[in-house]
Amino acid sequence: MTALVTAQRRVVDGTHVEVAVVGGGQAGLSISWHLTRQGVDHVVLERDTIAHDWIDRRWDAFTLVTPNWQCVLPGFAYDGDDPDGFMGRDEVHAWIRRYAASFDAPVVEGVLVTRLREAAAGGFEVVTDQGTIVADQVVLATGGYHRPVLPAVAAGVSDDVVQVHSADYRSPQALPEGGVLVVGSGQSGAQIAEDLHLAGRQVHLALGSAPRCARFYRGRDCIAWLSDMGVYDVPVQAQVGGLTKRESTNHYMTGRDGGRDIDLRAFALEGMRLYGRLTGAEGTALTFRPTAEASLDHADSVMESIKTDIDRFIERTGVDAPVEPRYVPVWRPEAEVTSLDLREAGITSVVWSAGFRADWSWVQVGVFDGGGVPTHHRGVTTAPGLHFLGLPWLHTWGSGRFEAIARDAAHVAESIAARAGGAGRAGRADRSVLAEKAVAAG
């Protein structure tokens, strides 16, 4: 395999670059590919190692929810032998690292960016734990999931119970013996509950309002249908609710074992205990709202509405597709359970699937709204030369998927080139290049 870097790069204090990219995941590498092709002097600063989140924040049995054929980054498509399958955690990590190696991305690993501020003479000062870089333009490609969220109710749970966030969950074997309460039924919560259930653990799941989607319908993966229908290409501004769509929750399904539905009702028939929204905890005594049935009905209604849209697309386009009966609920709660004692139920651990919170406190540039949310149009901000990339719903629903990250990166690259504008390549060649100033570590 091609070496990842020709020499271990490091930050040289006081260096000037045309573009500094913060974040060495798929988004940062995608913009780096464009800048490399354009001959733009740039550096990618990564606080850990390339694509580390795929290893550090996913469980052992994690698989993509999107099929492998959607794994397309600029100049680099999925290169395995199962395009309709779903790569696992380690495969995704290795694939992204091969991408970085394919064009010798100028990544400096192990560098923490502690502050970004506008420079007095123009451009930006990128302050790191190894020195300060001056950049004409900056791309923030750190994603939007920075800090795991633990709800306030977690503080009330007894110290005798092991508590982990979904980002720290690894496997059923890593938790103490006994029952497990999973709080949250979004993509991660539903898949972790499935992982525990398949391992034979007694699972208790507190449901939220997340929707679900069928894995397959009328002979194809639903994501293939939705892709053909252009659903992932609709700009966020054109969505119902406009920019508020960025707060929506993704549908739960799984790519495990070749892909299938996650039917929580079927799991309940097999012994999983389902509850409504968790509202309180005092020691081992928990309380829930009686919302389990409503949550299941809502998830199913969204799934069925997606099928209706697919039916209409098939009818409108004349596509030859087999007819498939609609889903019929296989289980309903006889009565809502609103209280639970963890000790009496034999529950020894809780997995909190409560999402993440963005942390932009280190960015001292006025491009945020009153709630601290980045303001931008397709990643381009009102601060000249400052861009975002890799945010969910940056431009479309697809912005959270590899394929659309590539499209978003192309747009940001165009913005960078337009701003760089008048400077000729000869002038740029005279500027110091971080990669050339880098020295071998040690």
Q: Report pLDDT digits (tens) over 44-77.
A: 999 999 999 999 999 999 999 999 999 999 999 9
Show the beta-strand stretches assigned E in 166-297: 179-183, 203-206, 216-217, 220-221, 273-275, 278-282, 285-288
Instruction: Give rounded-to-5 percent helix, strand, coil for the chain.
Output: 35, 25, 45
pLDDT at 416 over 60: yes
Higher pLDDT, 305 or 426: 305
**What is the crossing angle of helices 26-37 and 402-420, to 10°?**
40
Tell me the average pLDDT across 245-268. 88
395 CB-side CA count, 13 A: 24
Q: Coil, helix or strand for 431?
A: coil
Q: Provide the pLDDT confidence category of residue 353 given band limits of 50, 70 and 90.
A: very high
- The per-residue pLDDT for range 216-236, each reduced to its tens digit, is 999 999 999 999 999 988 887
Burial 125-138 (b: 16+ CB within 10 A, else e): bbbbebebbbbbbb
Give the global pTM: 0.91
Structural tokens at position 403: 């394929």
Tell me the average pLDDT across 364-368. 96
What is the model's pLDDT at position 423?
43
How many CB atoms sit inside 10 A of residue 122's CB? 10
Dihedral over alpha carbons 271, 65, 392, 310 (to 10 degrees): -100
- The per-residue pLDDT for range 2-12, each reduced to its tens digit, is 223 334 577 87
What is the model's pLDDT at position 249?
66
Q: Classify burial at 274, counting beta carbons within 10 Å of its beta carbon; exposed 0-12, middle 13-18, buried 19 or more.
A: buried
Q: Provide the pLDDT confidence category of residue 439 given band limits of 50, 70 and 90.
A: very low
With beta carbons less than 8 A apart as the criterion, state whether 276 and 333 touch.
no
Q: Which domains does the chain have, with CATH numbers?
A: 16-146+358-437 (3.50.50.60), 148-352 (3.50.50.60)
What is the model's pLDDT at position 17?
96
Dihedral over alpha carbons 79, 82, 86, 88 (to 10 degrees): -60
- The per-residue pLDDT for range 374-413, each reduced to its tens digit, is 999 999 999 999 999 999 888 887 787 888 899 999 999 9
